[in-house]
Structure 1
Amino acid sequence: MTRTAVVICPGRGTYNKPELGYLHRHHADKMSMFQRFDALRAEAGQEGVTTLDGAARFAVSTYSRGDVASPLIYAAALADAQSLADDIEVVAVTGNSMGWYIALAAAGALSAENGLRVVNTMGSLMQDHLIGGQLVYPFTDDSWVDSANQKQALLQDVSDINAVEGQDLALSIDLGGMLVLAGNEAGLAAFEASHPTVQDRFPMRLPNHAAFHTSLQAPIAAEGRARLKPDMFGQPRHPMIDGRGKIWWPGATDTEALWDYTLGHQVTEPYDFTHAIQTAAREFASDLFIVTGPGATLGGAVAQSLTMAGWSGMTDKASFIARQEDSPILVAMGREDQRALATG
Structure 2
Amino acid sequence: MRYALVFPGQGAQEVGMGKSLYDTFDAARDVFQKADHALNFKLSQLIFEGPEEKLTLTAFTQPAILTASIAAYRVLTESMGVSLKPAFLAGHSLGEYTALVAAGALSLEDGVRLVHLRGSLMQEAVPEGKGAMAALIGLEPDVVEEVCRRVAPNKECQAANFNSPGQVVISGETSFVEKAVEEAKVQGARKAVMLKVSAPFHSNLMVPVADQLQKAFEKCQWNLPHCPIVANVSAQPVFTVEDIQKALFHQTYSPVLWADSVLYMASQEVDTYLELGPGTVLAGLIKRCQKGLKTYSAMNEEDLRIIAALFNEGGAA
For the criterion TM > 0.5, the same-fold answer is: yes
Please tell me whether residue 238 in structure 1 is matched to residue 224 in structure 2: no
SS at match of 1:171: strand
Equivalent residues of 2:125, 2:208 under 8 A apart? no
Asked whether 1:266 is paired with 2:248, we answer no
Matched with 1:24 is: 19
The equivalent position to 2:12 in structure 1, one of 11, 14, 20, is 14
Match of 1:332 in 2: 297
Q: What is the letter of the counterpart of residue 239 of structure 1?
A: P
Match of 2:238 among 239, 248, 252: 248
- Answer yes or no: is the 8 Å Cα contact 2:156–2:204 preserved in 1: no
**Do 2:157 and 2:171's aligned partners in 1 also have CA atoms closer than 8 Å?**
yes
- Aligned match for 2:97, one of 96, 101, 122: 101
**2:54 pairs with 62, 65, 84, which one?**
62
Q: Which moved more, 1:176-185 or 1:78-87?
A: 78-87
CA contact (8 A) 1:233 1:259 kept: no
Contact 2:272 2:295 in 1 (8 A): yes
> One-letter code of the match for 1:171?
A
Alpha-carbon distance in structure 1 between the residues aligned to 2:108 and 2:116? 12
Q: Confirm or deny that 1:301 pairs with 2:285.
A: yes
Partner of 2:69: 77
Taking the aligned partners of 1:113 and 1:208, their CA distance within structure 2 comes to 26
Structure 1 pair 280–273 and aligned structure 2 pair: CA distance change class (3 A): same
Distance 1:14 1:76 in 2: 11
Alpha-carbon offset, residue 127 of structure 1: 1.6
Report SS of the residue matched to 2:4.
Answer: strand
Q: Where does residue 153 of structure 1 map in the other structure?
A: 143
Shift of 1:128: 2.3
Superposition RMSD on alpha carbons, in Å? 2.7
The number of equivalent residue pairs is 297
Of the three residues 23, 42, 55, the one matched with 1:48 is 42
CA shift, 1:287, in A, is 4.6
Q: TM-score, normalised by structure 1?
A: 0.78
CA–CA distance in structure 1, aligned partners of residues 111 and 91 of structure 2: 14
1:88 Cα deviation from its structure 2 partner: 4.7
**2:314 counterpart residue number:** none
The amino acid of 1:49's aligned partner reads: L
Structure 1 residue aligned with 2:312: none
Q: Compute the displacement of 1:51 (Å).
A: 0.6
| TM-fit CA distance, 1:58 | 4.5
Residue 235 of structure 1 aligns to a residue whose secondary structure is coil
The alpha carbon displacement at 1:286 in A equals: 3.1
Post-superposition offset of 1:258: 1.9
Q: Does 1:90 find its partner at 2:74?
A: no
Distance 1:228 1:87, change over 3 A: closer
Contact 2:72/2:299 (CA < 8 Å) preserved in 1? Answer: no
How far apart in 1 are the matches of 2:164 and 2:150?
23
Return the alpha-carbon distance in structure 1 between the equivalents of residues 71 and 2 of structure 2.
19
Aligned pair in 2 of structure 1 residues 210, 35: CA closer, same or farther (>3 Å)?
A: same
- Give the whole-Å Cα distance in 1 for the aligned partners of 2:281 and 2:302: 14
Deviation of 1:228 after TM superposition, in Å, equals: 2.8
Residue matched to 1:114: 110
CA drift of 1:113 comes to 1.1
Shift of 1:87: 6.0
With over 3 angstroms needed to count, the CA separation of the structure-2 counterparts of 1:76 and 1:336, relative to structure 1, is same
Distance 1:23 1:289 in 2: 20
Consecutive unaligned residues of structure 1, counting only runs of 5 or more, are: 141-149, 308-313, 315-319
2:32–2:71: 8 Å Cα contact kept in structure 1? no
Find out whether 1:36 has 2:34 as its counterpart. yes
TM-score (norm 2): 0.84
Report the CA distance shift for 1:333/1:235 in structure 2 as closer, same or farther (over 3 A).
same
Q: Following TM superposition, by how much is the alpha carbon of 1:337 offset from its aligned partner in structure 2, in angstroms? A: 7.6
Amino acid at match of 1:275: D
Please state how far the C-alpha of 1:289 moved relative to its aligned partner: 0.5
Name structure 2 gaps, 5 residues minimum. 310-317
Please list, as runs of the form range in 1=range in 2, the aligned pairs for 1:162-241 lying within 5 A after superposition: 162-163=152-153, 168-177=156-165, 178-196=167-185, 202-229=191-218, 232-241=221-230
CA distance in 2, matches of 1:236, 1:87: 16
**Equivalent residue, structure 2, for 1:135:** 134
> 1:22 and 1:224, CA in 2 relative to 1: closer, same or farther beyond 3 A?
same
Q: Distance in 1 between matches of 2:285 and 2:182?
A: 26
